[in-house]
Structure formats: structure tokens, C-alpha cells
């Protein structure tokens, strides 16, 4: 097969000349192609068939033990000017990076099949979607890209029509950690990844294209590519508000995207719709509102911790037609991980389970599944124009200081709130309690250019006539003096989202504080919760002295990005600091 687009065919020919594969296969995305790939991988041992009675269409892939996660220290942004990559990225000169990668790719596919994967990130007919082509020697990557993107003939037709695409060249190589790099060339819309078969390093449509390269595309084209879930909240009157939310890892993104309302809310008719659990592309519409698509077609979720208690919708999604990676298996060959009932027989490396070897499933074990299998999947996820965003939510894991929820006073303040967000480490994780790691907009590992320019780009959306979403910050993880979480979290987070929607609709007055607007007494529905008034007061308490120290720390963080940090954010921080300095001492906000 050959492409009608000369630039695409030329690039494929160049990649083949460099890597020297035994065969070239252009992927069409068909069911027959997928089944043939699965059979091939079962024969080579790349896949293991799971119990087809309990988990029809499900398979297990075991990674090399040295290849189980993203490798941020080996991930580079290769812009012509070092400053354009910013202090938030590792940088390498593009010429040096190309030479290094081409040396690794030289002859690396000898004896292997080279797969050419045309794919579309987003609904195939959406003006917000963007296309790419990944070349790989990994059938596991092909199978996953089919689930995670709109892959195959329709994508190729769009690429040939638009004559533009992101170029991704990937090889698993020898899976040698010493010969592993993920290089991004934003100015060329190109990615080169070598030496890893792990999802985030090898499924180039995911973080590499949909965030690092797309964030650069978004800056130049006037939109936003963000590490955010998209969830629809339908009230009993049948109106749906869509919310985009950014959280660093381990803060419950997927749980919020697939939230199950508390019993009372379900009885009243509240519904939750999942549009996306990880990535959100937003663009201003003709009416001035931001419209969002989920560029992905599937979920590449973390398995451990997914249970009937924490996320029954995710568990229901992966009962069939799922590829599991690095999970354990039971004696009757069902997938297993910590949090599920039953016992593991084999661990993630295929060894007889022995607790002395650590957890049975790798902590970063994954599932790859079509989003349409989620019980709460929203048909609006296929809307070409996207869904209108009513609110943007930022959040981190903060055991103290940060209230359960507050609203930014305007867009610039909201950008500051998102820029300052982060999570505190715990003793269990590091031995050092309270070390704050800032992760602006949850994009620190994924922004493909200088953070200062990124904040400037966010601020640029504040134009006359813009109907921008309200911006909120949440903290589900505030603890009481006993060290226990004050807020129950999970489904009860809908109570906080309900208040946000009331603010969007102008139905909640809130209470103004120096850091933003918090719920007034009685505005947060708490019936059915085992939460006393003192705990609620603590959740909504603003400690002005603590926040003055926080504002100073935020100022130090912003200054790390030098001259490119917009003055408007410094000014906004000064406004907040001034309000804190003039605030009356230690008032409980909820009263």
C-alpha cells in the first residue's frame, strides 16, 4: 500500500530506509486486522489469553521489568532555542537529538514488521481534532492505539485531505534503559521514541502528541491542550453542565470522571456523564464559550485501586475487550490487582505470587479499553463541535491550609490558582512530610514549551466578549488534627460540584475571602453525611497567616520562570497578598 499524500509516503520510505524492516504494514483499523494482531501476539507470547468466560476478549501483556512507566528524565523537548523549551522541560538541540535518535534507529527493525498507524485524536469529523501517523515495530502499540485513537482508513483519508499530520517514529529497540529516549520536536510536529514499549512512552498519540506537541499546536492556533478530565453533571431538570478538571497523579481524576452520585442525589435524578478521564482540548466557540473534546477514544487507566468500592464504573468498563498490562492473575486466569477480592496465583512478572517480591500487580499496572464501554460514557463525546465548558477545576493533595473549595474571582486569578496548584508529599511516600511539589495545571511533565509562555497563552483568552468558564480550586484531602481526612470524597464530591454549578447559574451567593469565594453557610448540601459543623468549618477555614506564607512561596515559584512569566500574574499575586495583609485575623469563613 502507498499513501496518496506524497509527504507521508516520503516520510514512511525514509523511516523504512533507516530502520530496515522485513515488512511494512499500513494499518486500516479493522476488526479483522485487530484479531490477526492478537493471534500473532498470543503465538509470540506478547499477549496471554485471560479467562474468556469471565473476561471475554481480554488479554494480558507483561512488560520488561525495566520498562513499566514514563521516563521523564529521558524525555526531551527539542526546540531550536533552548529558552523556548523552558526550565520546565529537559532540552536538547534538535540536530543533536535527531543524530542521537537516528543512530539508535539505524537497522533496529531488521527482521521485524514496520506498522504505519494513521490516527485521529478526537472525533474523526471534528474541527478540533488533529491527526498523526505513528510508525512502530510493536504490535502491542498498534492494538492499544486502535483503542485509544480513531485509527485506520478514515484517519488516513483525513490526513490526505488536510495534508498535515504529526510524525511519530517508535521502536521498542532492545528495551535497554541505557538506550531509551523520548524526543519531541514541536516546531516540526515530530516525535521520536526509542527503547520503551510502555504506554506513555510508546503510544505516541497519548501524552507525546495529545499534550506535548498539541500544547505547542494550541499555542500557535489559539486553543488549549490540557491534562484534564471532562465530566457532565445533569441535574434533575435535565440540564447538563460540563466541567473540565486538572489534578496531578493520585488525586482521583478517573474516579471524578466516572463519579457515582450519592444515593439521595440518584433518587432526585442527578446523573453523571463521562466525556474523558485524562486529556481535554478546548477552543473558543462562536458564542465566546470554550468548547472541549476528549482527543482520546479510550481509557489507559491505572488498575491497582480500581475496585467496586472506589470506581465501579471503571470496573464494569473493563469486564470485556480489554488489554491489561502488568496485572497479576488468579488461579483460574482472571486479572487481579490489589483492591480486588480473591487471591493472585501469578504476579505481574508471571512468577508464582510471593509477598516477599512486592505487590502482585505492578503499582502502575494498566488497562486499555474503549471509552464507549463505560456505563456513564456520554454520547456527546462524539460531538464534532465539543461540549461547552461551564467550569474549570484545579486541585491537589493538600492535608492543610487549602479549603475544600473556592472560586477564583476572575480569569487572571484563576490562572494564578491553576499555576500555583500542587500536592504535598506524605511520610509514607518520601519520609519527608509536607514537601510541596507544584505542578501548574497538572501539566509539569507535559507542557511542550516554556511555562511562562504557557501562562501568557492562558491569559490571552480573556478577551472582550469571551464567556469564559468560572475557575475553582478543590482539595479533597484536607485532614483534621487526628490525621484523618475531613471530607469523604468519591461520590460525595458531587456536593461540591453542585455548589460550583449553583455559582455558574448565579444561584449561590458564596462568601468573599482574600483567596476567593467560598460556600456560605448552608450552601453546601451535607444531609446524609456524617460530617459535623466543626469539621465543615475546618474544611472551609481560611488561615490568613498561613496563606500569606503561601503567597510568598508562590511568588518564589513564579520567579523561577524568569522574564517570560507574565507581569499580570505577578500583579495578581500582589493583589491577593495585599488582600490577605488587610484581612481580619483568622476568621472561620463558613460562619
Please name the helix (run of DSSP H) or strand (run of DSSP E) that holds residue 104, with its range, or none.
Answer: helix 94-105
- Tell me the domain boundaries of the chain: 6-47+70-222, 229-296+382-581, 298-373
| pLDDT of res. 257 | 97
Q: Would you mind telling me the total number of residues written for the chain in this entry?
A: 591
Do the bridges between strand 75-77 and strand 298-302 make them parallel or antiparallel, or are there none, so unpaired? unpaired
Q: Is 192 annotated as a binding residue?
A: no
Q: Is 251 a catalytic residue?
A: yes
Q: Is 507 annotated as a binding residue?
A: no
Q: Is 3 annotated as a binding residue?
A: no
Q: Is 364 annotated as a binding residue?
A: yes
Q: Is 253 annotated as a binding residue?
A: yes
DSSP bridge pairs for 135: 116, 169
Residue 506 makes CB contacts below 8 A (sequence gap 6+) with none
Q: Is 249 annotated as a binding residue?
A: yes
| pLDDT of res. 499 | 98
The Cα–Cα gap between 71 and 498 comes to 38
Which residues in the chain come in under a pLDDT of 50?
Answer: 427-431, 586-591
| pLDDT of res. 252 | 86
- Taking alpha carbons only, the member of 364, 334, 295 closest to residue 70 is 364
Q: Considering the entire predicted model, what is its pTM?
A: 0.96
| pLDDT of res. 126 | 98
Can you give 244-297 as a three-state secondary structure string? Answer: EEECCCCCCHHHHHCCCCCHHHHHHCCEEEEEECCCEEEEECCCCCEEEECCCC
Query: For residue 455, what is its C-alpha cell?
Result: 501562562
| pLDDT of res. 555 | 98
Q: Which of 58, 208, 251, 280 is catalytic?
A: 251
Do the bridges between strand 23-26 and strand 290-293 make them parallel or antiparallel, or are there none, so unpaired? unpaired
3-state class of 214 per DSSP? helix
Q: Is 490 annotated as a binding residue?
A: yes
Q: Is 235 annotated as a binding residue?
A: no
Q: Which CATH architecture does the domain made up of 229-296+382-581 adopt?
A: Alpha-Beta Complex (3.90)
Beta-strand ranges (E) seen in 295-432 are 298-302, 323-325, 328-329, 335-336, 366-370, 387-395, 405-407, 422-424
Q: Is 397 annotated as a binding residue?
A: yes
Contact 129, 205 (CB under 8 A): no
Find where cell 456520554 sits. Answer: 378
3-state class of 170 per DSSP? strand
| pLDDT of res. 591 | 35
Residue 434 backbone phi and psi in degrees, to 5: 80, 15
User: What superfamily does domain 298-373 belong to in CATH?
Assistant: Phosphoenolpyruvate Carboxykinase, domain 2 (2.170.8.10)
Topology annotation, domain 6-47+70-222: Phosphoenolpyruvate Carboxykinase; domain 1 (3.40.449)
| pLDDT of res. 430 | 39
| pLDDT of res. 69 | 86
DSSP string, 531-581: --HHHHHHHT---HHHHHHHHHHHHHHHHTTGGGS-HHHHHHHHHHHHHHH
Residue 484 backbone phi and psi in degrees, to 5: -100, 150
| pLDDT of res. 1 | 67
Amino acid at each position: 500500500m502507498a499513501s496518496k499524500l506524497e509527504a507521508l509516503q516520503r516520510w514512511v520510505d525514509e523511516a523504512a530506509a533507516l530502520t530496515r524492516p522485513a515488512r511494512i504494514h499500513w494499518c486500516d483499523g479493522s476488526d479483522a486486522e485487530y484479531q490477526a494482531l492478537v493471534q500473532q501476539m498470543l503465538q509470540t507470547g506478547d499477549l496471554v489469553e485471560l479467562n474468556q468466560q469471565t473476561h471475554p476478549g481480554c488479554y494480558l501483556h507483561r512488560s520488561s521489568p525495566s520498562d513499566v512507566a514514563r521516563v521523564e528524565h529521558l524525555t526531551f523537548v527539542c526546540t531550536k532555542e533552548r529558552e523556548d523549551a523552558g526550565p520546565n522541560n529537559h532540552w536538547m538541540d534538535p540536530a543533536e537529538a535527531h543524530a542521537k535518535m537516528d543512530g539508535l534507529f539505524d537497522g533496529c527493525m531488521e527482521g521485524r514488521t514496520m506498522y504505519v498507524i494513521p490516527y485521529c485524536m478526537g472525533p474523526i469529523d471534528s474541527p478540533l481534532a488533529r491527526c498523526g501517523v505513528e510508525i512502530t515495530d510493536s504490535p502491542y502499540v498498534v492494538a492499544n492505539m486502535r483503542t485509544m485513537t480513531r485509527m485506520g482508513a478514515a484517519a488516513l483519508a483525513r490526513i490526505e485531505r488536510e495534508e498535515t499530520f504529526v510524525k511519530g517514529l517508535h521502536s521498542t529497540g532492545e528495551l535497554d534503559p541505557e538506550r531509551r529516549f523520548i524526543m519531541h520536536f514541536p516546531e516540526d510536529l515530530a516525535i521520536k521514541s526509542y527503547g520503551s514499549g510502555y504506554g506513555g512512552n510508546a503510544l505516541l498519540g497519548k501524552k507525546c502528541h495529545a499534550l506535548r506537541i498539541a500544547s505547542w499546536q494550541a499555542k500557535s492556533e489559539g486553543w488549549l491542550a490540557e491534562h484534564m478530565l471532562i465530566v457532565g453533571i445533569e441535574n434533575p431538570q435535565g440540564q447538563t453542565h460540563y466541567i473540565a478538571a486538572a489534578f496531578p497523579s493520585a488525586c482521583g481524576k478517573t474516579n471524578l470522571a466516572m463519579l457515582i452520585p450519592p444515593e439521595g442525589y440518584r433518587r432526585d435524578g442527578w446523573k453523571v456523564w463521562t466525556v474523558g478521564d485524562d486529556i481535554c482540548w478546548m477552543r473558543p466557540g462562536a458564542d465566546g464559550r470554550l468548547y472541549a473534546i476528549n482527543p482520546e477514544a479510550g481509557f489507559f487507566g491505572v488498575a491497582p485501586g480500581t475496585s467496586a468500592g472506589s470506581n465501579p464504573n471503571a470496573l464494569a468498563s473493563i469486564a470485556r475487550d480489554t488489554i491489561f498490562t502488568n496485572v497479576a492473575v488468579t488461579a483460574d486466569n482472571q486479572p487481579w490487582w490489589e483492591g480486588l477480592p480473591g487471591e493472585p496465583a501469578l504476579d505481574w512478572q508471571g512468577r508464582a505470587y510471593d509477598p516477599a517480591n512486592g505487590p502482585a500487580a505492578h503499582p502502575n499496572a494498566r488497562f486499555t479499553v474503549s471509552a464507549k464501554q463505560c456505563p456513564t460514557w456520554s454520547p456527546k463525546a462524539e460531538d464534532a463541535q465539543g461540549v461547552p465548558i461551564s467550569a474549570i477545576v484545579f486541585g491537589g493533595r493538600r492535608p492543610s491550609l487549602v479549603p475544600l473549595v473556592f472560586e477564583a474571582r476572575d480569569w487572571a486569578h484563576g490562572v494564578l490558582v491553576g499555576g500555583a496548584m500542587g500536592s504535598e508529599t506524605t511520610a509514607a511516600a518520601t519520609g519527608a512530610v509536607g514537601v510541596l511539589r507544584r505542578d501548574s495545571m497538572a501539566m509539569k511533565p507535559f507542557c511542550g514549551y516554556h511555562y511562562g509562555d504557557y501562562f501568557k497563552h492562558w491569559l490571552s483568552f480573556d478577551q472582550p466578549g469571551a464567556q469564559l468558564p468560572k475557575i475553582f480550586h478543590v482539595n479533597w484531602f484536607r485532614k483534621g488534627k487526628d490525621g484523618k481526612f475531613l471530607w469523604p470524597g468519591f461520590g460525595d464530591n458531587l456536593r461540591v460540584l453542585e455548589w460550583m454549578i449553583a455559582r455558574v447559574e448565579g444561584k449561590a451567593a458564596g462568601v468573599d475571602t482574600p483567596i476567593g469565594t467560598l460556600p456560605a453557610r448552608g450552601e453546601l448540601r451535607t444531609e446524609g453525611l456524617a460530617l459535623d459543623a466543626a469539621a465543615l468549618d475546618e474544611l472551609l477555614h481560611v488561615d490568613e497567616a498561613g496563606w500569606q506564607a503561601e503567597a510568598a512561596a508562590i511568588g518564589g515559584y513564579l520567579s523561577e520562570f524568569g522574564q517570560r512569566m507574565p507581569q499580570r500574574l505577578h500583579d495578581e499575586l500582589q493583589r491577593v497578598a495585599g488582600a490577605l495583609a488587610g484581612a481580619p485575623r483568622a476568621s472561620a469563613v463558613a460562619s
